[in-house]
Amino acid sequence: MQDRNNNGLVDAGETIGRSLLNGSLSEKISLNALAAGNYLVEVVYEGAFSGSNTSTNYTLTLTADAAGDSYATARNIGILNGTRNFSDFVGTTDDIDYYRFYVSDNSDVRIDLTGLSADADLYLMRDRNGNGRFDESDVLDSSDLSGTNSDSIQLNNLAAGTYFVRVEQWTGNTNYNLSLSSTAVNGFQRLQGTLGADTFRVNLGTGRTIISGNGNVDFGTGSRDLLDLSNVLSTSAILNRAGLTGGGVAYDTGNGARMFDAITLSNGNQILFEGIEEIRFSDRTIALAIMPNDPLFNQQTSLHMMGVQTAWEFTTGSNNVLVGIQDSGGAVNQLGFIHNDLRSQNTYRSTSPNNYSDDFSDSSYSYGTAIQGIIAAASNNGQGISGINWNSPIQTIDVAGNDFGDLSLVDATREMINSANNAGQRLVINLSLNVVGSSVSAQLEELVAQNQANVLFVIAAGDTNSSQLSTLASLAQRYSNVVAVGAVWDRQDEDGIARIPGTRISYSSTDGSNYGTGLTLMAPGEVVTTQATQANNGTVNFSYDTSFEITEAAAPNVAGVASLVWSANSSLTATQLKQVLAETAYDLSVPGYDRTTGSGLVNADAAIRRAIVLSMPSAQTLAWQQAIPVV
């Protein structure tokens, strides 16, 4: 059970699993993909059965199993590069554990099973027929030494691909240690950065090195994701930059091919890289990130952590995409002006009366103004902040407060769809509304279902720190064009307390980022943005908010990035766009998808590089090798 509403009672819907066998039979509950959190186990006396005692002793065993018992539930290690170590248990209650890993190039692989107190066996497998389940023919090698002897497998020149490791109980119960290591046969090296500033140093004798910078929350302090080639002359290397219309090298790291920048060294060895902000040669340094002149840009850690500064090298937005914002509307002052750091020239109002303006009926704070600033503040204009998207048109509609001129979610959605269709545009709709305790209207759900090719709905997961998504965000459980967004911290929270970048925001039992089934992505949830407030005398004041927070702030971060990706490749459907965002996200928890952090932190740079590959015919993608000297 899980006390989802924190009332200290077991309520309807809080029982997750049960076992109700008769007599003295042993009971067992097995649950897959249980989200992180606190749970309760209840053992209930059901009364005596024929010829039995009226009481009983029992043994209760609880095991948290991170490695499932099938291919589908295998613990996903991701790319195996170097050595990875794991510890777990097999026995009568959990007799099989599976692990899944991927090697990008032909590799020598070694697997060791040690620390046994009972007999367990080791298998290496590949799903040869792709049926998603274990067959005897899948086994490539095994080790089944008796007793507590350690098992090991060594296979050389293993072909690139996905493999499974199986640890199986033979007799008894035992904890175990599992070590997996790989060495590329052809001199392959894979380097992955953190969410902070990383320096990458390359072994120049390695045939191919793949580097992913993965965003940089420290960018505003002057620290960079740096490719250090300080022992290489720039004139001895060939730089091949990726672009929307050519250049770069397409490479698949295991979750879909992306277009990498490339450097070919004088010895013929190759460095492929993404998300790098600076290359340092012995004779010069090349800056690869865009630096707008907005004075608050250095404080916008939200953009830096998502890699927006390198994504702008490809696009800053286009007229092929319309971004819709449904919230409180945008604030308008006494002179009829919106915030002077918002783009007035392509911020569109509806034909309905007064449905752009924030009425301030629910709050003296304009949420619509804050959301619009995150997505589309006027950028590189020497004032304030930078928006994620500099060019795509914005349509803001007031749907909050039930004031005169406000539209319903259905009418606002229909109007935005009509606007985009009439202009031949793709449409991203941001919904930061925390709607709880009600159902989604059938009319709105019908609009979502009918527009899975051309409309992406980006919805806040909710701010109550609950294991259930907000009502609107729950649409992500059913529709492939809906993205539910959770929120993470950067290096510190709004109170100045140090945090680990990428940690889900959680202040108290009722104040934090919601999670659960359907959660798609995470994004920074405490941001700097445009602010509008209304004084008691009705005067509207414009300024900047340095801590607009949680999923209301995270959703527009994803909406802004999605609009950039669609600007890079507008031929993608909304379903494909959601998939691109998910498969290129930076993993924040256990490898692969989980209900606490979804697919991970949205990565603008990697997502655009994936979209570029998908925009090109497959033959052209594989052969794209346009190169230029470093000048």
pLDDT digits (tens, 9 = 90+) for 147-204: 999 999 999 878 888 999 999 999 999 999 999 998 877 667 889 999 999 999 998 8
C-alpha dihedral, 89 to 90 to 92 to 98, nearest 10°: 120
- For residue 251, list its beta bridge partners: 258
Angle, alpha carbons 452-72-104 (nearest 5°): 85
* pLDDT exceeds 60 at position 49: no
Neighbours of 84 (CB within 10 A): 17
Average pLDDT over residues 459-464: 97
pLDDT of residue 582: 96
CA 48 – CA 603 distance, rounded (Å): 59
Neighbours of 477 (CB within 10 A): 14
DSSP one-letter code for 403: -
* Residue that wins the pLDDT comparison between 506 and 329: 506
Give the architecture (CATH level 2) of 297-600. Answer: 3-Layer(aba) Sandwich (3.40)
Check: CB of residue 568 under 8 Å from CB of residue 611: yes
Where are the domains positioned within the chain? 1-62, 75-184, 190-289+622-629, 297-600
Report how far Cα 375 is from the mean position of its chain's Cα atoms. 18
Average pLDDT over residues 238-263: 93
- Name the phi and psi angles at 208, rounded to 5: -145, 130
Q: How confident is the model at residue 627 (pLDDT cuts 50, 70, 90)?
A: very low
Average pLDDT over residues 345-361: 65
* pLDDT exceeds 90 at position 342: yes
Check: CB of residue 214 under 8 Å from CB of residue 586: yes
* pLDDT exceeds 90 at position 583: yes
**555 token code pair:** 């959703």
* pLDDT exceeds 80 at position 135: yes
CA 540 – CA 526 distance, rounded (Å): 24
Q: Rg for the chain (alpha carbons), in Å?
A: 27
| Identity at 4, one-letter amino acid code | R
Inter-CA distances, 24 with 27, 102, 172, 385, Å = 9, 45, 22, 68
297-600 has the same fold as 75-184: no
DSSP one-letter code for 492: B
Check: CB of residue 433 under 8 Å from CB of residue 399: yes
| H or E element, residue 395 | strand 394-398
**451 token code pair:** 């527009």
Q: Tell me the helices (H) and strands (E) count for the chain, helix number first.
A: 9, 31
Q: Which residues contact 267 (CB under 8 A, 6 or more apart)?
A: 204, 205
Q: What percent of the chain has pLDDT over 70?
A: 92
Report how far Cα 595 is from the mean position of its chain's Cα atoms. 11
Instruction: Give the largest Cα separation in the chain, rounded.
Output: 91
Inter-CA distances, 4 with 13, 16, 76, 185, Å = 9, 11, 28, 50
| H or E element, residue 169 | strand 161-171
Nearest to 523 by CA among 217, 261, 180: 217
3-state secondary structure of 398: strand
* pLDDT exceeds 70 at position 54: no
Average pLDDT over residues 115-132: 92
Q: How confident is the model at residue 19 (pLDDT cuts 50, 70, 90)?
A: confident
DSSP per residue, 497-545? -B--TTPBPEEETTEE---STTEEEEEE-EEEEEEEEE-TTS-EEEEEE
3-state secondary structure of 124: strand
* Residue that wins the pLDDT comparison between 273 and 4: 273
Location of structure tokens 């007599």 = 23
CA 172 – CA 213 distance, rounded (Å): 45
Query: Counting beta carbons within 10 angstroms of the beta carbon of residue 524, is it exposed (0 to 12), middle (13 to 18) or buried (19 or more)?
Result: buried
3-class SS letters over 68-120: CCCCCCCEEEEECCEEEEEEEEECCCCCEEEEEEEECCCEEEEEEEECCCCEE
Q: How confident is the model at residue 1 (pLDDT cuts 50, 70, 90)?
A: confident
Helix%, strand%, coil% for the chain, nearest 5: 15, 30, 55
Q: How confident is the model at residue 350 (pLDDT cuts 50, 70, 90)?
A: low
* pLDDT exceeds 70 at position 308: yes
Q: Which fold has domain 75-184?
A: Jelly Rolls (2.60.120)
Q: How confident is the model at residue 69 (pLDDT cuts 50, 70, 90)?
A: confident
3-state secondary structure of 265: coil
Average pLDDT over residues 210-234: 97
Nearest to 560 by CA among 398, 385, 440: 385
CA 234 – CA 119 distance, rounded (Å): 57
Nearest to 248 by CA among 631, 624, 629, 628: 624
pLDDT of residue 624: 33
Burial 40-64 (b: 16+ CB within 10 A, else e): eeeeeeeeeeeeeeeeeeeeeeeee
DSSP per residue, 557-593? HHHHHHHHHHHH-TTS-HHHHHHHHHHTSBP-SSSS-
3-state secondary structure of 448: helix
* Residue that wins the pLDDT comparison between 131 and 283: 283
